[in-house]
Structure 1
């Protein structure tokens, strides 16, 4: 039944709330109250994938988040979860309410897809299970398709290794009160305790073994979701999420795992698909995603476009599930000619065609690619006849990059901006179709966010030697943080927000650099 057409009888928000629905809903609510002796909202709440008439709101019930079976200490029964959406944070002007059944088979996660709301509006939401009430979250609908809003405050982040530091960057991001948050992957890491240690030692530990099974992935997501700073960021604004590699396995590529290890279900492509299916199921259970992203075994579609009126298109990409395997290992290699092969792809042909079609159909001022790995060429060797590039980034798939870049040029995309995570450092880059030609025009920009915590505090360095012979690389910084942007009709401004440290909670945040991109003028302009 359509959520907006449900008939509900409510008795207020005080103790003893019962929501009456046809069938067994009343009994389910009473049973849930009797069976949940403690707060089940330990993993927080979230919203995501906004559209002009709605969004997804999410929660997952867990009495004991770190339970080894991944089920959060919940009873093996369905629990009725009441939800409501209001126009005010006090939840007095309620516009939608209903009950969703949280079932054990989905780790008691709840996804409610709202429709029929007003475009370009701020809303608030919360959940209830028995006598327990969740915190209130803030979210937004996107503007109507034909509207061009005056501005959008969007922040993006990636790479939050729980063991390497505290998630203060998420707290500071929330305090900026963005309208939209993009997470570009490595939301969680798969490693067991003490297998990925930052210099100076890890400041906290993962629970459980390396994530391989559904139970393990559910437990790991729950450990991350238990973090109060991450919960604050989710409650502040709607998120658009995509994964990178660590949500499954380091540097995985389609059906190829990082290592062949029978003990890790990695001894064959078929066994890796078992692991991938477990990771995908847990990922969906723990993210505010719409039904089209429900996984089908080892396949899950996360690439999609979210339109913010006529101001911006957000093309959220997947550069892991459909890519060719990395060449010559996963790291940096010299003179690997095969990386230039025309048939190599990092997107797969279906996703590439979807993106090129999106460029051709776009009428937005800004077309923004939310993706995972370094896009611009980054050659570590200054000799003109030797290249030394990463096989895991777009340099390992050069023809794929050229087709995408030439695609937005041919489609006359007004302003193309690539957003990137993965590399645990901040970068700001001009984008060309041909990076080898020093006279080739700049056709777009790339903003690379550093990590939330991965690699620890960082050195604070603002120089990288490769910039000397890669003149399109305009900025570098080795500190932790995120990027805060303001998007208007006339410009996109990006503030590189950095923390003093992540080895302890509570660091202050500051702006290390600010770049602007003018409407219709490809390339970056340093503003601070």
Structure 2
């Protein structure tokens, strides 16, 4: 099922992609460096904004990238090819009168002049403000938050989810509204950028000029991926949400190529060795442009990780792409015997065992799984037959059964699966027996719609009978938007927010549906 290329041999890709471990260390502030003055810094280098991510009880990751000309064709953002010392400051107040931490990191040309400053030594469960300075240039101010102390029981966790932000398909109006929410964290669940060429056929975002010709090609090289991130990140509403709360980010497929599986390219049929080169530069651009802690090593990017919100929630961030088995017979939609092979995995053996061990140790009230693709079984044949998507967990039913068995084995009574990918709002109950509508729910799945991908959407579409024909699906709405949740020790309230249009800016926001899930009683009780 997999390429014969050994995973251990992939480390040679570190040199192939042209960056050494020293550059990564300098950019995090963990390595000592000579003072590099700010002379020669072009004006206004913070055009891509600021961000924070992966909150811990004593700190977080702070991100920025120097790019005075973000759409410069060479992918270097208009920066001279030299390193710069970037200083950061963290304070307890927005006016920076009560400083909590200071430090510096080095923005190097090898990493697109990005900075990932790892801050520690702060108080748990606190709001903080941060900013960067290079030379005389000062960045916008961001707000972030530390996680609660490990043994604390916070009164609540307020979060949003987002995914699938095809800039060219529409305005990021959903982010305009999300930035006004009072959030502790944002979970981004994949498809931060898209790899397709941008031209007159798919530029539906009204009122913007056609991007430069460099964007009218699929993203394959490092320069192209950097440019694609820069284009998307110039959106002011996206920047506002990044600056408003810490993000926890994972990927789906379009950060590299549609429907890829490990080293296998389904869309373009690129041979595995060449595809891994493409994956290496795609992951490097992902790291350069997002507030994540772990850097890639060639085509391998450590994405799965565990965060805790005190005793209220354990949050497992999963990677559905990098370790999965391929598509049976190369088919996305299928019901072949290979689909049910007990050896198949969407997470890979190592990630599965890491996940189960974490569940064994968990003492949290809620267990949250932030991941990319739909976990609920969705039979797509409305007649007497069966048809499933191998791109989703339906392509790996044995792996899903193993996860549900781990929930039972370790007493995980409140699993909450957060999902992106499908460009629709979907709420579903996860069932012990999919063939019996009266079967007990063992968890809930909340899939937020896209931010802009597929344009305006509609009140309903031709896929609604398929999804709603599965009785455990309690909501299906193909509008654009996002999900917000309020989690307490007693309940989870989930609200699906929608905008009626994204091709033109300025749409209002409405609550499409609201569900309550009581702790200890998995299921979806609809209020709106």
Give the equivalent residue in structure 1 for 2:420: 421
Give the equivalent residue in structure 2 for 1:255: 263
Residues 382, 52 of structure 1: alpha-carbon distance in 2 compared, 3 angstrom cutoff: same
User: Quick check: 1:402–1:434 contact (8 Å CA) kept in 2?
Assistant: no
Question: Residues of 2 paired with 1:22 and 1:369: CA distance?
Answer: 37
What's the offset of the Cα at 1:357?
Answer: 1.1
Question: Residues of 1 paired with 2:203 and 2:521: CA distance?
Answer: 41
Residue of 87, 95, 112 corresponding to 1:82 = 87
Instruction: Determine helix, strand or coil for the equivalent of 2:486.
Output: strand
Question: Residues of 2 paired with 1:201 and 1:331: CA distance?
Answer: 33
Give the equivalent residue in structure 2 for 1:106: 111
Question: Residues of 1 paired with 2:265 and 2:522: CA distance?
Answer: 38
Q: Does 1:271 align with 2:279?
A: no
Count of residue correspondences:
494
Question: Residues of 2 paired with 1:47 and 1:60: CA distance?
Answer: 12
Matches within 5 A, 1:322-337: 322-333=323-334, 335-337=335-337
Give the equivalent residue in structure 2 for 1:358: 358
What's the offset of the Cα at 1:171?
Answer: 1.7
Instruction: Determine helix, strand or coil for the equivalent of 1:43.
Output: coil
Question: Residues of 1 paired with 2:205 and 2:53: CA distance?
Answer: 36
User: Quick check: 1:427–1:475 contact (8 Å CA) kept in 2?
Assistant: yes
Question: Residues of 2 paired with 1:469 and 1:128: CA distance?
Answer: 55
Matches within 5 A, 1:363-402: 363-384=363-384, 386-402=385-401
TM-score (norm 2): 0.90
Instruction: Determine helix, strand or coil for the equivalent of 2:284.
Output: helix
Residue of 44, 52, 57 corresponding to 2:57 = 52
CA offsets per residue over residues 66-86 of structure 1, 9 Å max, x none?
112111110011111111000
CA offsets per residue over residues 374-413 of structure 1, 9 Å max, x none?
11011122334x1111111111111111111221122111
User: Quick check: 1:164–1:203 contact (8 Å CA) kept in 2?
Assistant: no
Give the equivalent residue in structure 1 for 2:143: 138
TM-score (norm 1): 0.90
Q: Does 1:315 align with 2:320?
A: no
User: Quick check: 1:198–1:455 contact (8 Å CA) kept in 2?
Assistant: no
Question: Residues of 2 paired with 1:396 and 1:403: CA distance?
Answer: 14
Q: Does 1:464 align with 2:482?
A: no
CA offsets per residue over residues 168-215 of structure 1, 9 Å max, x none?
111211111211000000011011113973889997655522111111
Question: Residues of 2 paired with 1:490 and 1:195: CA distance?
Answer: 50
Measured on the aligned residues, the alpha-carbon RMSD in Å equals 1.9
Instruction: Determine helix, strand or coil for the equivalent of 1:417.
Output: strand
Residues 120, 468 of structure 1: alpha-carbon distance in 2 compared, 3 angstrom cutoff: closer
Question: Residues of 2 paired with 1:321 and 1:400: CA distance?
Answer: 15
Give the equivalent residue in structure 1 for 2:170: 165
Residues 126, 200 of structure 1: alpha-carbon distance in 2 compared, 3 angstrom cutoff: closer
Residues 160, 467 of structure 1: alpha-carbon distance in 2 compared, 3 angstrom cutoff: closer
CA offsets per residue over residues 273-313 of structure 1, 9 Å max, x none?
000000011111111111xx211111111000110000111
User: Quick check: 2:451–2:482 contact (8 Å CA) kept in 1?
Assistant: yes
Q: Which runs of 5+ in 1 are unaligned?
A: 1-20
Q: Which runs of 5+ in 2 are unaligned?
A: 1-30
Q: Does 1:216 align with 2:231?
A: no
User: Quick check: 2:263–2:272 contact (8 Å CA) kept in 1?
Assistant: yes
Instruction: Determine helix, strand or coil for the equivalent of 1:123.
Output: strand
Instruction: Determine helix, strand or coil for the equivalent of 1:175.
Output: coil
